Amino acid sequence: MKFFHRNERTKQTTEKALRRTKDAWFKPLTRIFLNNRFDDAAWNTLEEALISSDIGVTTAMDIIERLKTQFKSSHDNSPFLSVKNELNRLLENPNGPIETVLGDNLSGPKPLVILMVGVNGGGKTTSVAKLANMYKQLGKKVLLGGADTFRAAAAEQLQVWADRLDVDLVSNETGGDPGAIAFDSIRAGISRKADVVIIDTAGRLHTKNNLMDELSKINKILDRDEFSCPRATILVLDATTGQNGLSQAEYFSTSIHCDGIFLAKLDGSAKGGFVFGIKEKLNLPIMFVGTGENVEDMSVFEPKTFVEALLS
Ligand SMILES: Nc1nc2c(ncn2[C@@H]2O[C@H](COP(=O)(O)OP(=O)(O)O)[C@@H](O)[C@H]2O)c(=O)[nH]1
Ligand SMILES: [Mg+2]
């Protein structure tokens, strides 16, 4: 169970994925940390760096205010440690988000049903494959449900992953009813004694309301008493969209209950500060990060490792 958890691999993957972010926003901070003090210029540098990392203006201001208060009351503070503590504080998660999908649920009733939602092109299908691979590595039996029936290419793409990963896939021809596929997937998962069923969904945006209706319908089906399976709904977010992506994410998370986030494409983003904004705005834990296009390019999100990788 601990395979992806707090290990050397998580650290290396996170460090690699954050390289662009570090170059973009951490470098200016080095001078402050080397001087080991905050003067007016240093406060401005910090503020600029935080905002340009896409941390969000409110969150950036909040950090600065808190740090200023700390430095007023004590002159022994180290800017490095203080910034690090503040960033860690922002990501604190008392609920241990990862335990829902990696913890006890997997030894309880089966299967764990994961519904993946998010906008088109955000990285849903790839992230479904990554999770399937992760559970397989953990020795779990995985079944995929292809409930993105909107585009023919979507079903094909998932089929390719299912073949490559050698996992079962329940799907239907394009235009099929996503709710029916979700229903069939979970039924197949139960009868084939799968440990995890991961359901891919459509994310087209031009008919937002229909999409949300459709997702709610799938949700209701999965919630049926007859199934009584543990559930997790994961919102896939594209890290390269930064603050702009947040409003779409908000729309999803207010329309259907989400348990956490799979932050895809962290490797393609120079705005890793987005992570702090997500926590602040959506109050959803980041569970996983995507760090490339291959199935192994992911890791469990470890707040401490993340902050360490940003500042080290
Ligand atoms: N660099 C990188 N590319 C990714 C990642 N996740 C997905 N992608 C790419 O993003 C594009 C859209 O992904 P897809 O899974 O089809 O998104 P969907 O429409 O939400 O299902 C594809 O070209 C993927 O290879 C990631 O973590 N890093
Ligand atoms: Mg897709």
Q: Is the pLDDT of residue 206 over 90?
A: no
Measure the CA–CA gap between 196 and 110, rounded to whole angstroms.
7
State how far the alpha carbon of 179 is from the alpha carbons of 56, 125, 137, 253, 260, in Å. 37, 17, 29, 19, 22
In ligand 1, the atom with minimum distance to the C-alpha of 118 is 20
pLDDT at 193 over 80: yes
Q: How sure is the predictor about 4, in pLDDT bands with cuts at 50, 70 and 90?
A: very low
128 CA closest ligand 1 atom index: 15
> pLDDT by residue (tens digit) across 229-267?
889 999 999 999 888 788 888 888 888 899 999 999 999
Model pLDDT for residues 140-171, shown as the tens digit of each residue:
999 999 999 887 788 899 999 999 999 999 99
What average pLDDT does the chain have? 86
State residue 274's pLDDT score. Answer: 86
Other C-beta atoms within 10 Å of 162: how many? Answer: 21
* pLDDT greater than 70 at residue 273: yes
Sheet strand arrangement including 142-147: 168-170, 142-147, 196-201, 112-117, 231-238, 260-264, 286-290, 298-300
AA letter at 158: L
Q: How far is the CA of 209 from the centre of ligand 2 (A)?
A: 19
Provide, rounded to the nearest whole percent, the portion of the chain with pLDDT above 70. 90
Q: How confident is the model at residue 105 (pLDDT cuts 50, 70, 90)?
A: low
Q: What pTM value is reported for the model?
A: 0.91
For the residues of 55-84, what is the DSSP string, one character each? --HHHHHHHHHHHHHHHHH-S---HHHHHH
Q: Decide: 286 and 261 in contact? Cβ < 8 Å.
A: yes
- With cut-offs at 50, 70 and 90, classify the pLDDT of residue 3: very low
By most ligand atoms within 8 Å of CB, the mutation choice from 126, 149, 157, 266 for ligand 1 is 126
Q: Look-up: residue for tokens 């906008």? A: 119
pLDDT digits (tens, 9 = 90+) for 108-128: 788 999 999 999 899 999 999
118 Cα to the center of ligand 1, angstroms: 12
CA distance 237 to 264: 6
Ligand 2 centre distance from Cα of residue 165 (Å): 17
Q: Which ligand 1 atom lies nearest to the CA of residue 148?
A: 21
Concatenated DSSP letters for 132-152?
HHHHHHTT--EEEEEE--S-H
List pLDDT tens digits, range 257-272.
Answer: 999 999 999 998 888 8
Ligand 1 atom with minimal separation from the 154 CA: 21
Nearest ligand to the C-alpha of residue 13? 1
Helices within the chain (DSSP H only): 8-17, 19-21, 27-35, 40-52, 57-73, 79-91, 97-102, 124-137, 152-165, 178-191, 208-222, 242-255, 274-282, 303-311
Residue 273 CA, ligand 2 centroid: distance in Å: 26
Nearest protein CA to atom 19 of ligand 1, as residue = 121
Residues around the ion ligand 2 (C-beta < 5 A): 124-125, 154
Amino acid 208: pLDDT: 60
Asked if 156 and 172 touch (Cβ cutoff 8 Å), the reply is no
At 25 the pLDDT is 77
More confident residue, 162 or 50: 162
Ligand 1 pocket, CB under 6 A: 118, 120-126, 203, 236, 264-265, 267-268, 290-293, 297
Q: Which one-letter amino acid corresponds to residue 35?
A: N
Instruction: Tell me how far the alpha carbon of residue 107 lies from the centroid of ligand 2, in angstroms.
Output: 29
- Please state the atom number of ligand 1 nearest to the C-alpha of residue 290: 27
Amino acid at 76: D
For residue 125, the CA-to-ligand 1 centroid distance in Å is 7
pLDDT beyond 80 at 53: yes
CA 56 to centroid of ligand 2, rounded, Å: 28
Is 2 a residue whose pLDDT tops 50? no
Q: Which of 293, 294, 299 to mutate to test the pocket of ligand 1 (most atoms within 8 A of CB)?
A: 293
Considering only CA atoms, which of 56, 113, 43, 118 is closest in space to residue 82?
A: 43
Output the pLDDT for position 15.
86
